């Protein structure tokens, strides 16, 4: 007992001693990044990421789940956990993105904490990055209690576009785009085409001639030049002369571009996009010389790059993390990365395998801290970081924290500095866990060897769910039955008692857990019992009597795991699980899931569904 105590004493001292150098009242100074200082911080972030071995991140969302049963629980297969996380990721908004590139040398942890304030600004009025988002009132209240500054977030948050949105918006930003060089003449032209081209050609010729004239003649006074402009319909693009040709179809665009190749020496065609996505007009810009043309093209390219950067906004940082290929450590793999994928990469695919492969192309190395934590300390709850940290105190794992980006210019009041602490804590926890595991932390860079790189873990298919506790029992999903429509509110134990007396199938061993206030799940430990029970409930006439018949008459309903799965797949995310299951049973949708095989679930009597937390 004594040596153990001493060890514990030592470790806690070393943590606080390590911390006291850099932290103020147990807090690290985290660089707060907003719209105003984003651009200037970007280079610093790039260096921070490049010089670190890992990147820890933590998100602050406007919500997590709308109803108790939307939370991922032990009865969910990976696919269903994914569907639940997807549903949340698509609805809620990330308001803060705490990022902490860090490296670990021996017991010294070097961190570069940043905290980004995000807000989706629909600058192009096209519903991008998002048209709307959901907020959980209780979540916002909790954030307010922690001193979250909503004004700063909404007034000064950095906007962004996902990769897919950026490529889609290219045409829509309203800026003229340099036309792609025409490769080969398109399909044979009709008479109408020939007439059209001829008409445009003569117009361009006239205009070009006038441009040549005016560039040679310098003595024109303003009045004459503006009159000439008026007559010829010539306009100016920047300092250059141009001619705008309105078009009605993409075919006409093609024809005009082909025709303009005749004047390729001093005329550059630009495409003007319309709001609905097509091309509205072709703008021919007159170049005074070859150098002028190069300069013009360069200017245009710069303009486009600048515009793209502006629109991309915060995603630049996500791209930096992604291109650095550094392992990313997060507290909750599924919820964090479904959010990141949905906001910064593109729409979430409909099944978990596609998601994993899509994600791993952007983030090849992902470390799920909760998974890692379970290996070291199976009973700890990762959702509370300080608690998780203190639960590790029984191990001797000293970690010295040093904040590297000290030169942060923002020295606001204390309340501002506290945001983004979680990412530092995650890196600290990770450092501790790696030290405890005594594994060389460098090896974790290779995801294939690592048990906690969940990206590969997720591939383990629906068949097997990882056992996450010693006192869990595996159960096939076939043996789960959902029951709802109880006459009155009951606790799990009373419900169990009631069921025990209702039917002889309950003479065998079984378990009952409440999933939310409307619905409970019954676990049969005998293989065929679930079928017996289901057929008993669904064929009321054959019920010989007893209290089960009364319960069914009073509205008791039951369904197998397949119905639950279907409810998630069809997106019946009602507030009460009972309503969702009712709706699923009503829906005539008969297209079957590709995998109808039963899946295995680990049933833990304590951890499975902790109703207190719902």
Comparing CB distances to other proteins, the nearer of 208 and 513 is 513
Per CB under 8 A, 66 contacts other proteins: yes
**CA angle at 300 for the pair 299 and 301, rounded to the nearest 5°:** 90
Pairing of strands 267-273, 279-286: antiparallel
Per CB under 8 A, 40 contacts other proteins: no
Please report which helix (H) or strand (E) contains residue 215, including its range. helix 191-216
CB of 226 to other proteins, least distance (A): 33
Residue ranges in 343-420 assigned as alpha helix (H): 352-362, 369-376, 385-391, 414-417
Comparing CB distances to other proteins, the nearer of 169 and 599 is 169
Closest CA to 511 of 498, 521, 503, 526: 521
CB of 129 to other proteins, least distance (A): 8
CB of 326 to other proteins, least distance (A): 31
Distance, CA of 538 to CA of 558 (rounded, Å) = 8
Selected from 25, 151, 448, 590, the binder of other proteins by CB under 8 A is 151
Closest CA to 166 of 325, 310, 339, 360: 310
Closest CA to 478 of 604, 341, 331, 596: 596
Instruction: Read off the tokens for 210.
Output: 């006038």
Which range touches other proteins (CB under 8 A), out of 180-188, 263-271, 276-284, 546-554?
276-284
Selected from 187, 218, 239, 493, the binder of other proteins by CB under 8 A is 493
Site for other proteins in 421-460 (CB under 8 A): none
Which range touches other proteins (CB under 8 A), out of 33-41, 60-68, 166-174, 435-443?
60-68
Comparing CB distances to other proteins, the nearer of 401 and 577 is 577
Phi/psi region, residue 277 (left: phi>0; alpha: psi -120 to 50; beta: rest), is left
CB of 297 to other proteins, least distance (A): 28
Comparing CB distances to other proteins, the nearer of 52 and 136 is 136
Distance, CA of 380 to CA of 436 (rounded, Å) = 15
Distance, CA of 198 to CA of 206 (rounded, Å) = 12
C-alpha distance from residue 6 to each of 11, 19, 322 (Å): 9, 20, 43
Closest CA to 245 of 176, 172, 168: 176
For residue 545, with 0-12 CB atoms within 10 Å meaning exposed, 13-18 middle and 19 or more buried, which class applies? exposed
Q: Give yes or no for a cis peptide into 129 (omega within 30° of 0).
A: yes
Per CB under 8 A, 132 contacts other proteins: yes
Per CB under 8 A, 479 contacts other proteins: no
Taking residue 261's Cβ as centre, other Cβ atoms within 10 Å add up to 12
Per CB under 8 A, 413 contacts other proteins: yes
Comparing CB distances to other proteins, the nearer of 278 and 364 is 278
Selected from 16, 589, 593, 597, the binder of other proteins by CB under 8 A is 589
Per CB under 8 A, 378 contacts other proteins: no
Site string for other proteins, 389-408 (x = CB under 8 A): --x-----------------
Per CB under 8 A, 278 contacts other proteins: yes
Selected from 3, 43, 106, 137, the binder of other proteins by CB under 8 A is 137
CB of 521 to other proteins, least distance (A): 19
CB of 415 to other proteins, least distance (A): 5
Q: How many residues interact with other proteins (rule CB under 8 A)?
A: 49
Distance, CA of 415 to CA of 388 (rounded, Å) = 24
Closest CA to 308 of 316, 317, 299: 316
Comparing CB distances to other proteins, the nearer of 215 and 491 is 491
Per CB under 8 A, 579 contacts other proteins: no
Comparing CB distances to other proteins, the nearer of 178 and 575 is 575
Per CB under 8 A, 22 contacts other proteins: no
Per CB under 8 A, 149 contacts other proteins: yes
Per CB under 8 A, 138 contacts other proteins: yes
3-state secondary structure of 417: helix
Phi/psi region, residue 404 (left: phi>0; alpha: psi -120 to 50; beta: rest), is alpha
CB of 286 to other proteins, least distance (A): 31
Comparing CB distances to other proteins, the nearer of 147 and 198 is 147
Comparing CB distances to other proteins, the nearer of 291 and 612 is 612
Selected from 58, 115, 136, 434, the binder of other proteins by CB under 8 A is 136
Per CB under 8 A, 596 contacts other proteins: no
Selected from 81, 93, 110, 477, the binder of other proteins by CB under 8 A is 93
Per CB under 8 A, 264 contacts other proteins: no
Residue ranges in 313-363 assigned as alpha helix (H): 315-324, 333-340, 352-362
Comparing CB distances to other proteins, the nearer of 15 and 367 is 15
The single-letter DSSP state of residue 250 is H
Per CB under 8 A, 246 contacts other proteins: no
Comparing CB distances to other proteins, the nearer of 145 and 223 is 145
Taking residue 526's Cβ as centre, other Cβ atoms within 10 Å add up to 13
Per CB under 8 A, 67 contacts other proteins: yes
CB of 284 to other proteins, least distance (A): 24
Distance, CA of 476 to CA of 604 (rounded, Å) = 13
Per CB under 8 A, 575 contacts other proteins: yes
Distance, CA of 108 to CA of 399 (rounded, Å) = 6
Residue ranges in 217-314 assigned as alpha helix (H): 222-232, 250-260, 290-312
Closest CA to 325 of 361, 275, 295, 279: 361
Instruction: Read off the tokens for 406.
Output: 């000290």
Which range touches other proteins (CB under 8 A), out of 130-138, 201-209, 260-268, 453-461?
130-138
For residue 608, with 0-12 CB atoms within 10 Å meaning exposed, 13-18 middle and 19 or more buried, which class applies? buried
Comparing CB distances to other proteins, the nearer of 132 and 187 is 132
Binding site for other proteins (CB under 8 A): 62-63, 66-67, 93, 119-122, 125, 127, 129-138, 140-141, 143-144, 147, 149-151, 153-155, 276-278, 379, 391, 413, 415, 489, 491, 493, 517, 571, 575, 587, 589, 606, 612
């Amino acid at each position: 007992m004594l040596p153990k105590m001493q060890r514990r004493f030592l470790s806690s001292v070393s943590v606080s001693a390590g911390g006291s150098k850099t932290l103020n009242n147990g807090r690290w100074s985290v660089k707060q990044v907003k719209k105003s200082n984003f651009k200037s911080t970007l280079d610093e972030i790039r260096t921070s990421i490049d010089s670190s071995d890992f990147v820890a991140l933590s998100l602050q969302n406007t919500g997590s789940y709308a109803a108790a049963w939307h939370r991922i629980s032990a009865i969910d297969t990976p696919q269903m956990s994914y569907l639940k996380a997807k549903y949340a990721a698509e609805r809620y908004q990330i308001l803060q993105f705490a990022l902490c590139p860090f490296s670990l040398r021996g017991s010294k942890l070097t961190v570069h904490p940043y905290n980004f304030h995000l807000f989706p600004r629909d600058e192009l009025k096209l519903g991008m990055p998002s048209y709307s988002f959901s907020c959980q009132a209780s979540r916002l209240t909790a954030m307010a209690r922690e001193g979250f500054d909503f004004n700063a977030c909404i007034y000064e948050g950095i906007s962004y576009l996902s990769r897919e949105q950026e490529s889609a918006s290219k045409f829509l930003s309203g800026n003229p785009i340099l036309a792609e060089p025409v490769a080969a003449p398109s399909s044979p032209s009709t008479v109408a085409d020939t007439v059209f081209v001829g008409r445009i050609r003569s117009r361009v010729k006239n205009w070009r001639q006038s441009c040549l004239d005016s560039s040679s003649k310098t003595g024109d006074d303003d009045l004459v030049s503006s009159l000439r402009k008026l007559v010829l319909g010539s306009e100016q693009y920047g300092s250059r002369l141009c001619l705008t040709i309105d078009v009605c179809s993409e075919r006409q665009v093609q024809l005009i571009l082909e025709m303009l190749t005749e004047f390729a020496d001093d005329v550059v065609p630009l495409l003007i996009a319309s709001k609905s996505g097509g091309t509205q007009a072709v703008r021919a810009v007159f170049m005074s010389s070859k150098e002028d043309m190069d300069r013009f093209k360069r200017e245009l390219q710069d303009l486009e790059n600048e515009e793209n950067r502006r629109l991309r906004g915060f995603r630049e940082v996500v791209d930096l993390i992604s291109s650095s290929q550094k392992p990313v450590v997060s507290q909750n793999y599924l919820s964090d990365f479904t959010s990141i994928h949905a906001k910064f990469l593109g729409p979430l695919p409909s099944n978990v395998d596609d998601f994993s492969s899509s994600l791993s192309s952007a983030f090849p190395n992902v470390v799920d801290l909760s998974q890692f934590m379970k290996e070291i300390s199976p009973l700890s709850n990762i959702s509370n970081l300080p608690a998780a940290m203190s639960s590790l105190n029984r191990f001797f794992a000293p970690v010295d924290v040093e904040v590297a980006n000290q030169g942060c210019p923002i020295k606001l009041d204390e309340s501002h500095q506290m945001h983004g602490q979680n990412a530092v804590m995650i890196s600290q926890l990770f450092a501790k866990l790696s030290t405890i595991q005594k594994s060389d932390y460098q090896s974790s860079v290779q995801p294939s060897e690592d048990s906690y790189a969940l990206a590969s873990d997720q591939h383990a298919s629906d068949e097997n769910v990882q056992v996450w506790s010693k006192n869990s029992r595996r159960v096939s999903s076939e043996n789960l039955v959902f029951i709802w429509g109880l006459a009155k509110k009951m606790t799990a134990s009373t419900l169990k008692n009631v069921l025990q007396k209702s039917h002889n199938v309950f003479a065998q061993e079984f378990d009952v857990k409440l999933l939310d206030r409307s619905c409970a799940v019954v676990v049969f430990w005998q293989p065929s019992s679930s079928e017996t029970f289901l057929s008993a409930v669904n064929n009321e006439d054959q019920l010989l009597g007893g209290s089960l018949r009364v319960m069914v008459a009073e509205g008791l309903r039951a369904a197998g795991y397949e119905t639950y799965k279907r409810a998630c797949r069809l997106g019946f995310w009602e507030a009460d699980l009972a309503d969702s299951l009712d709706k699923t049973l009503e829906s005539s949708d008969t297209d079957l899931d590709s995998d109808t095989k039963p899946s295995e679930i680990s049933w833990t009597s304590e951890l499975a569904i902790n109703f207190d937390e719902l």
